[in-house]
Amino acid sequence: QVQLVESGGGSVQPGGSLRLSCAASGIIYRSNTMGWYRQAPGKQRELVAGITSGGSTNYADSVKGRFTISRDKNTVYLQMNSLKPEDTAIYYCNLRQIMSADSWGQGTQVTVSS
């Protein structure tokens, strides 16, 4: 069983920055992928960025050049710069590994508004 604890959400003006963190604990295999998803009101949950245990990353086109995902062992970070109102959503941390169902954090609200 895996637990994911997120922190770092909040409110910021357009153009501002926020940094999200997610610490994973429990049964975690050496090979895994951690990532951030988001869900805005009335929309489906979408992948924002992911990073493998080997350090390979991928990003949604909408955040490329503005967001950076990184990890330190079983903690994953999302540095969000140049935030836009359309980035407003609940952000969820995710851990994916073999022989296990996906694990999700509780979600953290990010609001970008002037």
Residue 59: per-residue pLDDT: 98
Count of Cβ atoms closer than 10 Å to residue 93 Cβ = 26
Query: Using one digit for the tens of pLDDT, what is the confidence trace for 55-71?
Result: 999 999 999 999 999 99
Query: Using one digit for the tens of pLDDT, what is the confidence trace for 16-29?
Result: 999 999 999 999 99
Alpha-carbon distances of 68 from 36, 94, 102, rounded to whole Å = 11, 16, 22
Mean predicted confidence (pLDDT) in 69-80 = 97
The helix/strand count (H/E) of the chain reads as 0, 11
* CA separation for the pair 105, 83 (Å, rounded): 22
Mean predicted confidence (pLDDT) in 90-112 = 95
